Amino acid sequence: MLGCLTFVAPFSPSPLLSLHRFSPLSVPSSPSGLLKFASRRFSITATKAESLSTMAVDAENVGSVKRQLAHLFEVSLRTTVPSEPDIAPLVEPCAAKSGVKFGDYQCNNAMGIWSKIKGKQAEFKGPPSVGQAIMKNLPPSDIIESCSVAGPGFVNVVLSRNWIAQSLQRMLIDGIETWAPRLPLKRAVVDFSSPNIAKEMHVGHLRSTIIGDTLARMLEFSHVDVLRRNHVGDWGTQFGMLIEFLFEKFPNPEDVNEAAIGDLQTFYKASKVRFDSDPEFKQRAQQAVVRLQGGETRYRDAWKQICEISRTEFHRVYERLGVHLEEKGESFYNPHIPGVLEELNKKGMIEDSEGARVIFLKDVNIPLIVVKSDGGYNYASTDLTALWYRINEEKAEWIIYVTDVGQQQHFDMVFKAAKRAGWLPADDNSYPKATHVGFGLVLGEDGKRFRTRNTEVVRLVDLLDEAKNRSKTALLERDTAKEWPEEEVEKTSEAVGYGAVKYADLKNNRLTNYTFNFDQMLNDKGNTAVYLLYAHARICSIIRKSGKDIEEVKKNAKIALDHEDERALGLHLLQFSEVVEEACTNLLPNVLCEYLYNLSEIFTKKFYSNCQVVGSPEEGSRLLLCEATAIVMRKCFYLLGIVPVYKI
Ligand code: ARG
């Protein structure tokens, strides 16, 4: 199968073998570009025999309705147009047209097939007849209740209620992990957060931390081994200045500690003032950089002390956010830079330009500087080396960088260089691949870059404090919470406050700027974490109030979806897996947020408004629907890095 791939991996191909496990039918959802991607992958990676052999394995992927339908349509396509074995099924959930839906899912292959076979297969007179044939050739299956052909050959599928109900019941027994998507890769690097030592960790880093953590969680859930990398800026000329300043302030290294130094940012600013105003200090600082890079013990030790203090500060934020990261800072890659540049040089990629060493890249009007005119390395040389390391040493197949959109060109150039070097294939849809996940600015309510009243930058710790305190005040205004033990109040206000900050960020398309507004994010109505967390708590309380042991109900009751709102809820629950797959494939956490919000709306406004749960003849089945909703909601919360609450 590897022979069918369009590139030869520059390293041992073993991670790529994972592609075997995936059916070419692993079609990413919706945007049309991705559909093209799907059919392309199909054509380069599979033959008919292979796709059939992968079917059994793909059956592991029981969670995805879309994939299961795609299997059925694939069988039909092979019979309908035997002359076109490379056509992949295009299956999507149906969108409502003027409020009417013709089915739950739709197969959209007819028109594409018609344009390929026109005149070749006499039995077809146009796309509608191709659609009819696709429908007729579908193998029998208990998934489908009925099918119809609409317009230019769209095949609409109505899913069987029974099958939806059984799938939910099975998930309740086997666990939601059985609904985890399978992605065609084994290992990924997510490079996120990555603040700079001694400089402020600003809201941009907060966004990177929140988005990166969610992407990592979604990939991990999808069975990918994720290396969560904190690429901290722990190297660079600023360290000369910091170290000299440290020597001045603390002639005795033993006196250096966090308490003595205080806030590192203030320390940084003071050293900068000294640097700018005293030429003699400046000179010493510049020499300090050289001595640090030369490895002199005293300088290395001072550098380590500064990094350690910074690390403790960062760690406090990560701990509160529940984010886990593994630090491999810029300095880690230093020893590898000369070798990597030598390799690029041998490939004829590096040129001299105004005293610097640079790489010129196609369609980019500025060169990528890899050695500065003073002989030093820079951000780009480090990133090129880190990318080389991640591909070749760590064997990552997908390397994801989460930073503000301002760094897009930098990454674009680094990736282009890596392709030219042959580390990455030219085709963006093949693995290994590198992706820059950009995000917009955080704005204040004045529409300008987010700042607080009196400080220039917003300290993340203050921000989290405020979110927590505000949610605590709101919580204590509720009668129920007044009797809660202090610890519970604390925990709930943290879950709600931090959850609100995260969700407000994640629910937007990450590329857009977003306005930071406490009142909005802490509102208990509308699309906020507060609303969602409360909705979840309410579902838990319905189950509690029934007085039934849900584990017993699982054993004894059977889900039935007779009411149309029960069916709508059941179907939405079942779409969890394909939504996570889409959010992962396109690196868009907002897709999952939207799903979660809709789930909560369908539960509250449709199901719970129209279907009595406790005390009704359908109580058992409906309690199971409540439980399934709570389970799916909790998994969404988990993937979004939000701690659920069970009580309000
Ligand atoms: N330290 C950088 C900054 O604060 C972000 C680093 C992102 N990662 C990378 N591999 N360049 O802007």
Hey, whose CA ends up nearest to atom 6 of ligand 1? 194
Give all domains of the chain, ordered by start, each with its CATH number: 65-159 (3.30.1360.70), 237-327 (no CATH), 497-640 (1.10.730.10)
Q: pTM score, two decimals?
A: 0.88
Cα 573 versus chain centre, distance: 20
Percent above pLDDT 90 for the chain: 75
**Residue 221 alpha carbon to ligand 1 centre in Å:** 25
Which atom of ligand 1 has the smallest separation from the CA of 191? 8
* CA 410 to ligand 1: nearest atom: 11
Q: Which residue has its alpha carbon closest to ligand 1 atom 11?
A: 383
Query: With contact defined as beta carbons under 8 Å apart, do 402 and 371 qualify?
Result: no
Burial (Cβ within 10 Å: 0-12, 13-18, ≥19) of residue 47:
middle
CA distance 424 to 360: 17
- 640 DSSP 8-state letter: T
Looking at residue 60, its pLDDT comes to 54
Q: How is residue 128 written in tokens? A: 């509608």
| 4 close to 44: Cβ distance less than 8 angstroms | yes
User: Residue 129: CB partners within 8 Å, gap ≥ 6?
Assistant: 123, 153
pLDDT per residue as tens digits for the range 173-226: 999 999 999 999 999 999 999 999 988 788 889 999 999 999 999 999 999 999
DSSP string, 343-377: HHHHTT-EEEETTEEEE--TT-SS-EEEE-TTS--
Q: What is d(CA 415, CA 636) in angstroms, rounded to the nearest whole number?
A: 32
Q: What is the dihedral of CA 415, 421, 423, 427, to 10 degrees?
A: 60
Strand partners, 467: none
Identify the residue whose C-alpha is closest to ligand 1 atom 7.
Answer: 194
Residue to substitute in 190, 192, 194 for testing ligand 1 pocket (most ligand atoms within 8 angstroms of CB) = 194
CB 191 within 8 A of CB 399: yes
Q: Which stretch of 104-108, 234-238, 579-583, 623-627 has the lowest confidence by average pLDDT?
A: 234-238
* Rounded Cα distance, 351 and 356, in Å: 8
Contact 421, 493 (CB under 8 A): no
Which atom of ligand 1 is nearest the CA belonging to 383? 10
Among protein residues, the one with the nearest Cα to ligand 1's atom 9 is 231
Query: How distant, in Å, are the alpha carbons of 65, 159, 575, 591 from that of 180?
Result: 12, 21, 11, 16
Query: Under a CB-based contact definition with an 8 Å cutoff, are residues 218 and 182 in contact?
Result: no
Nearest CA to ligand 1 atom 5: 194
**Any alpha helices (H) in 513-588, and if so which ranges?**
518-521, 529-546, 550-556, 564-574, 576-585
Query: Where is 114: in which H helix or E strand?
Result: helix 110-117
Residue pLDDT, tens place only, 559-578: 999 999 999 999 999 999 99
Residue 234 C-alpha to ligand 1 middle, in angstroms? 11
Q: What are phi and psi of 496, to 5 degrees?
A: -70, -45
Q: Which residue has the tokens 């607080």?
A: 452
Number of the ligand 1 atom closest to the C-alpha atom of 401: 8
**Residue of 193, 203, 231 to test ligand 1 pocket, by largest number of atoms within 8 Å of CB:** 231
- 452-458's contacts with Cβ under 8 Å and 24+ in sequence apart are 457/200, 457/202, 457/203, 458/202, 458/203
Q: For atom 4 of ligand 1, which residue has the closest CA? A: 195
Q: How far is the first Cα of the chain from the last one, in angstroms, to the nearest whole number?
A: 54
- Taking the centre of ligand 1 as the mean of its atom positions, its distance from the CA of residue 383, in whole angstroms, is 9
Residue with tokens 């949610």: 471
Predicted confidence at residue 636, as pLDDT, reads: 98
Element (H, E) at 137: none
Whether residue 31 is predicted with pLDDT greater than 90 in this model: the reply is no
Among 105-109, 155-159, 249-253, name the one with the lowest average pLDDT. 249-253
Ligand 1 centroid–CA 555 distance in Å is 51
Pair of tokens at residue 38: 């799907």
Residue 459: per-residue pLDDT: 76
Ligand 1 binding site (Cβ under 6 Å of any ligand atom): 191, 194-196, 231, 233, 383, 386, 401, 403
Task: Examine the pLDDT at 139 and tell me if it is beyond 70.
Answer: yes
Residue with tokens 């002390």: 305
Query: Between 458 and 77, whose confidence is greater?
Result: 77
Going from the Cα of 233 to the center of ligand 1, the distance in angstroms, rounded, reads 7
pLDDT tens per residue, range 418-470: 999 999 999 999 999 999 999 998 888 888 888 755 555 677 888 899 999 99
Q: Which of 208, 331, 377, 403 to mutate to test the pocket of ligand 1 (most atoms within 8 A of CB)?
A: 403
Structure tokens at 536: 């979840």
What does the pLDDT read at residue 414?
98
Distance (Å) from CA 243 to ligand 1 centroid = 22
